[in-house]
Amino acid sequence: MTRLLFFGLFLSAAALTTLPSLANAQTLVAPSFLSGDSFTMGVTDIISAGDPGEDMNWDFSAIVTQDSYDIHILPSSPSPYEDDYPGANWIMELPSYSQSVYMNLGPEYFEFFGGVEQGVSYPLADSDRFWPYPFEYGATWNDSMSGTLNVQGTIINRSGTTESTMNGYGSVSMPGGVQLDDVARVEMTREITDSSFTGVNIYVIHQIRFHQGDLLAPIVVQTNFQVITELDTTVSNSTEVLQSYAVGQTSIEQPQSEFGMFPNPARDDVQLVWSSFDASSKTVEVSDITGRVVEEMRSVSGMSSTTIDVRSWASGVYTVTVNPGQKNPTTKKLIVE
């Protein structure tokens, strides 16, 4: 099985959950969203997730992402592989990895049924329920899953367990001075065993995830991913942070990695983030729905982010363009509430 398959079905697929409505931070509720919603997660090296506990303030303001990927939400029916996943109600599409992950995103469970990669379907016979809704502070959840997969002609017997605990709530400090309240902290460990004639592989995925209200996307996800074989153990670590959220997209576009934007929608400060390896300065232009330019700015050379204050702006949809006037400028929509 390829490394990309494990990233899609075990790492990104677990990194889930429209617009934030503030809920009691002591209870994680089922997400609220629309078909066609999409969001972008920025990726960087591992960063401390902080301690669990009550009324905490977790500080992720220093995060600078080095890569990103998009996730699009579509109904599971109609879809080419819906018969393989009769219990699923939603698909999480990862365009840059050519993957589709079949999920339940509520109302009862955050549940994983398997997925499709490069046109090959890998359904589980027994789904993996990550946690129930509502999921309250101090509660622990356990589940098991199983399936038989045909991976490039090799039959793999898969089994696994999941343990999740909601062990914290409080506020989160995001890059660009953004402060988010009513945030729930969930710690989840998945251990997956694959057995075939070639031997046994064990995958251990430990995540610390931060969710706000009924927002579909996680705010921050810290992941430790171990691959244990008879000969070796490999470990990879990453931190992912929500960069942008778009509502009700009618078509799937390939991700644009020129810059990330968070939060979106916004009321106060909006952070723009680009690769920390790019030493050039960026020109940023923001236009309202009539095309009138309402903001022009240039980032500091060598800095990986800049912030726009939208407190005095009228509510509506704005267009943010990085390096306008160049041959291929990058453009994203910003919603100001």
Establish if 253 belongs to a structural domain.
Answer: no
Segment 188-219, tens digit of pLDDT: 999 999 999 989 999 999 999 999 988 899 99
Amino acid 249: pLDDT: 60
Is 213 inside a domain boundary?
Answer: yes
Examine the fold and report which residue of 199, 224, 246 is the final residue of a domain before the chain moves on: 246
Identify whether residues 188 and 321 lie together within a single domain.
no
Contact (Cβ atoms closer than 8 angstroms) between residue 295 and residue 284: yes
Same domain (yes/no): 197, 296: no
What is the predicted pLDDT for the residue at 22? 43
Lowest mean pLDDT among 2-6, 135-139, 173-177: 2-6
Same domain, 27 and 174: yes
- Residues 235, 265: one domain? no
Percent of the chain with pLDDT strictly greater than 90 = 43
| Span 272-322, pLDDT tens digits | 776 444 445 678 899 988 888 999 887 765 555 677 888 899 988 898 888
CATH number (domain holding residue 271): 2.60.40.3080
- Judgement on whether residues 219 and 272 belong to the same structural domain of the protein: no
DSSP, res 300: P
CA 102 to chain CA centroid, nearest Å: 15
The gap from C-alpha 78 to its chain's centroid, in whole angstroms, comes to: 24
Q: Is residue 251 part of a domain?
A: no
| pLDDT of 208 | 97
Q: Which residue has the higher pLDDT, 168 or 7?
A: 168
* In a shared domain, residues 125 and 271: no
Going by their DSSP bridges, the two strands 53-59 and 233-246 should be labelled as unpaired
Q: What is the mean pLDDT of residues 221-240?
A: 89
Last residue of a domain, one of 217, 246, 275: 246
Same domain, 216 and 270: no
**137 falls within a domain:** yes
Q: Are residues 53 and 77 in the same domain?
A: yes
Q: Are residues 277 and 158 in the same domain?
A: no
pLDDT reported for residue 301:
55
Q: What six digits make up the tokens of 232?
A: 């070796």
Residue type, 311: R
Q: Which of 246, 275, 298 is the last residue of a domain?
A: 246
User: Does 282 lie in the same domain as 174?
Assistant: no
Give domain status of residue 331, yes or no.
Answer: yes
8 occurs within a structural domain: yes
Q: How far is CA 34 from CA 87, 130, 229, 248, 250, in A?
A: 19, 22, 41, 6, 11
Tell me: do 156 and 217 sit in the same domain: yes
- In terms of phi and psi (left: phi > 0; alpha: psi -120 to 50; beta: otherwise), the region of 106 is left
Tell me, yes or no, whether 18 lies in a domain: yes
What is the reported pLDDT for 118?
Answer: 75
State the Cα–Cα distance between residues 302 and 276, nearest whole angstrom: 8
pLDDT-derived band at 220 (thresholds 50, 70, 90) equals very high
Q: Are residues 125 and 237 in the same domain?
A: yes
Q: How many domains does the chain have?
A: 2
pLDDT of residue 111: 96
Please indicate, yes or no, if residue 217 is contained in any of the structural domains: yes
Domain ranges, residue 281: 260-336
User: Which amino acid would we find at residue 75?
Assistant: P
